[in-house]
Chain A
């Protein structure tokens, strides 16, 4: 079937099988390999892109169902080698990526959170964690990612990135426990995590 999409501001027209997944179109059809495939069941979140501004898992959407929509992939966030977005920069400062495989999906998912909350109070730590449950990361344990989002939200609210909000300050301090002086005890950051998540702890 003949379909069209607007991908990263560019109109794209192509013929696709009815059962083609959006992620296949993006990666194989359009060569946008920044979007990843990490599982086959919509669990890992490495394939997250934005569809008309909402983050979606592109392995769970048929290309045909997305036809006519505006798709933004990680390649559409910045130019190649270009300046990082506020969120990307905050994640860089917090080292919110290690192997990087989950990172494009996280940037696309978290980008929506940062955008959507720009006109209100910064999202709380439990809110950020809840938002992140659609993305799996094995390297970081999520901590640096959560700190990165806190930093990004603070930076968006105060012109000066160094003026970070209470929540971010606590987490930054927890981070410096390992990074800082060895003999000084690290300030504790004990926060109740959001309880039992949708991730399902039962096997």
Chain B
């Protein structure tokens, strides 16, 4: 694979790759978009959920009579009312190893019941629901439900949950161990470590963080007794997946009796592709009450119910030579899955992290082992950059330790070990085969843009101002484009991971694109219109895009893992090619010429060498609608669908450089400059991607500097609202310096790689590297995130971690 930097010419009309304005934006800016909280169907009743106030206990009794008498209350329900609803399943399990899950009646790995009846396992574990005329009445009645608990001991850390005598969460999961999962070559890695000239080790805490989309989740269930059909409106990033899982594996109703609609979704960052109890509850209760039932979460509710991210405790080792060659890598990780497996949490915590640990480096022997354990905390899921961010953090922290140990410049060590171009496709020895890359060029560009060579002078200057300036580099490879379905099945995914698109050319020449994916803020309508318009060589204004409603859209898996542009967009492009091929075939008939003489260009079919003899796109659209005069082998109408299942994943990568200033007196860390050079292959709309890169970096800086889900010893989430959980605000970030390289992926027709979340992967490592650099003369080798002023202040004063 020859790497290409710079813009390679795209095929088509050239509308793809342009920074077109987002067509979604005006509606959003006018406040006109409908989110699930804005869905108000006639006769709606409102649901509130009683979550457990304690982290681990047996439920001795639940008394609901008083609540039933409260004003406006229509129904109070507990687990006993949902005995025919199956537990939620887990569909991404640790692949290829023995694993243990709570049971599901179909023999699948089970996750959690929609309401718990016997025990509670985390604060927020849903016990009962109230449906009332108004949201306030429902919330008020919750307080009248009396639950008697027998407290059980609590465990909140994965390593502690695996210790002898630890509290047990699930009967079916001995010792709380969901799975012991490994990848790489253990013997070779052991040997490399044993024979190493130099060995550096770190104990790392990749702290749990809360994804925090600004829109909390919500669900509206609407059962139609006349047709026996259910409709679910939900803040979902995968309506088709939710339809399949809810109908087939939770409610046990026919697939074609459930319609799922994703209205405008207010951000996800990995939280809204999961099955949650509320989705099933509003549907069942709507049927029971004969009214639509609506539930919208609160912020504190979200923080105690919606999946959280990261949360690995690790011991990591890097072996190398005195002259800076990396020879071996070892990672032992304890992943905290929370109280129940989330829909895909166990897969995220194992494969997505473990196979990614060596990043952009050629390391001959690498091994990763993950102990995935259940604890009395909110279930773990994905979070923007998930798995890969944890991997990059450990790798990039190790590289800096290694460089310090051998007295080499951290940039020089990295450059020396980058996978060279001639090695692509590159098998990283941990399970990924990197598709393409030009790491050297990307790396050098980031260093140059950041002014890396000037850092010694800047450090000296900062010291005159009472500041310690530090610089931190972090590189990454972020597997994206989930994915090849068969391969994903080997990784433990229970389900297909292809994507689809349908294109209909309307009789009047406009084009309708429907995709199975569903946006959570990525301007799909804009970008997919660009893809179709580019292929068909027509004006994008002619193209309308639909998604998010299972009744209208072809099947698809949704938006996650930065997959829509490298999965759904290729499906759109391939479908447009089918349309084009049919237009050429039919156009030849209408023009009275042999097919090989028919040329398609600029939205027209014309006779080669005689451009006057032509049919416009609109002419052909109408002619195909009528279907008059078509030979038997050409069907009328222009309506094509593609299901795209790629041959392999794609592997975007990049280099980030953080420059921080640490205040000597206060310990405050300010990110004064941040450079990122990311490579996502060919990009459909640079304006959209720019926004995603900027937001992703800010998200990563949040983990480095301020974010942490803090549980106390009793399993209570202390950081349970936005007064206690800090999110980056506008004053916390400077403008960034951004660049890109372009290395197309060979695994899809657009040469695209994932882009949406990739820039979340390295910032935490870059910032911690920078702060450790700033404090290195004090002997500081590592500081756990978040790097709060107090923590840094203590280290400035020589206190140990």
Contacts and interface: CB of A to CB of B under 8 A. Distances in A.
Nearest to A144: B691
Nearest to B725: A203
Contact of B37 (A31, A33, A44, A190): A33
Interface string A127-167: 01110110111111111111000000000000000000000
Nearest to A19: B136
Given A40-B298, A202-B790, A203-B724, A190 B734 contact: yes
B690 interface: yes
Contact of B732 (A40, A82, A199): A199
Interface in A161-197: 170-171, 174-175, 177-183, 185-186, 188-197
Interface string B118-162: 000000000000000000000000000000000000000000000
B701 to A, nearest CB: 8
Nearest to A32: B31
27 contacts: A34-B30, A36-B266, A37-B37, A38-B299, A40-B721, A41-B722, A95-B687, A95-B688, A100-B25, A101-B214, A101-B266, A103-B29, A103-B31, A136-B729, A138-B269, A143-B694, A146-B735, A171-B735, A178-B740, A188-B449, A188-B451, A194-B731, A200-B726, A201-B706, A202-B789, A203-B786, A203-B788
Interface stretch (B164-172, B419-427, B518-526, B578-586): B518-526
Interface string B604-620: 00000000000000000
Interface stretch (B108-116, B527-535, B668-676): B668-676
A65 interface: no
Contact of A177 (B25, B296, B737): B737
A11 interface: no
Contact of B35 (A36, A126, A174): A36
Residue among A84, A136, A201 facing the most chain B CB atoms (10 A cut-off): A201
Contacts of A107: 29, 31
B187 interface: no
A120 interface: no
B557 interface: no
A39 interface: yes
A38 B691 contact: no
A75 B24 CA distance: 17
B738 A177 contact: yes
Contacts of B706: 201-203
Given A101-B215, A174-B735, A39 B521 contact: no
A80 B790 CA distance: 49
The 9 nearest A-B residue pairs measured at CB? A34-B31, A99-B521, A141-B698, A100-B28, A101-B266, A74-B31, A43-B722, A132-B730, A197-B731
A92 B29 contact: yes
B22 A193 contact: no
B590 interface: no
Contacts of B382: none
Contacts of A146: 730, 735
B689 A141 contact: no
B22 to A, nearest CB: 6
Residue among A35, A174, A191 facing the most chain B CB atoms (10 A cut-off): A174
Nearest to B38: A33
A63 interface: no
A92 B31 contact: no
Interface residues of A, number: 83
Interface in A36-86: 36-41, 43-44, 46, 73-75, 77-78, 80-82, 84
Contacts of A104: 31
A174 B721 CA distance: 34
B45 to A, nearest CB: 14
Nearest to B722: A43
A142 B29 CA distance: 15
A13 interface: no
Contacts of B721: 39-41, 43
Contact of B695 (A43, A98, A186, A188): A98
| B interface residue count range (under 10 / 10 to 19 / 20 to 34 / 35 or more) | 35 or more
A136 B451 CA distance: 31
A185 B448 contact: yes
B737 A193 contact: no
Contacts of B28: 97, 99-100, 103
A182 B740 contact: yes
B404 interface: no
Interface string B766-801: 000000000000000000001011100000000000
B468 to A, nearest CB: 15
Nearest to A103: B28
Nearest to B755: A178
Given A43-B721, A98-B695, 14 more contacts: A33-B40, A84-B30, A133-B731, A138-B269, A143-B698, A145-B730, A170-B735, A174-B737, A177-B738, A183-B7, A188-B673, A190-B672, A196-B789, A197-B730
B142 to A, nearest CB: 15
A116 interface: no
B728 interface: yes
Nearest to B521: A99
A136 B520 contact: no
Q: Is the interface of A mostly helix, strand, loop or mixed?
A: loop
B722 A182 contact: no
Contact of A186 (B214, B299, B737): B737
A22 interface: no
B436 to A, nearest CB: 15
Given A95-B25, A185-B448, A179 B690 contact: yes
B737 A181 contact: no
Nearest to B20: A95
B708 interface: yes
A178 B723 CA distance: 34
Interface in B688-710: 688-699, 705-708, 710
A78 to B, nearest CB: 5
B566 interface: no
Contacts of A186: 449, 737-739
A104 B34 CA distance: 12
Contact of A95 (B21, B216, B705, B737): B21
Interface in B185-206: none
Interface string B261-288: 0001111010000000000000000000
Contacts of A190: 672-673, 734-735, 737
A138 B727 contact: yes
A142 B729 CA distance: 8
Contact of A98 (B449, B522, B727, B741): B522
Contacts of B697: 141
A86 to B, nearest CB: 12
B26 interface: yes
A199 B788 contact: no
B484 interface: no
Interface in B428-460: 445, 448-449, 451
Given A138-B699, A189-B735, A191-B734, A178 B5 contact: no
A60 to B, nearest CB: 12
Contacts of B5: 182-183
Contacts of A200: 723, 726
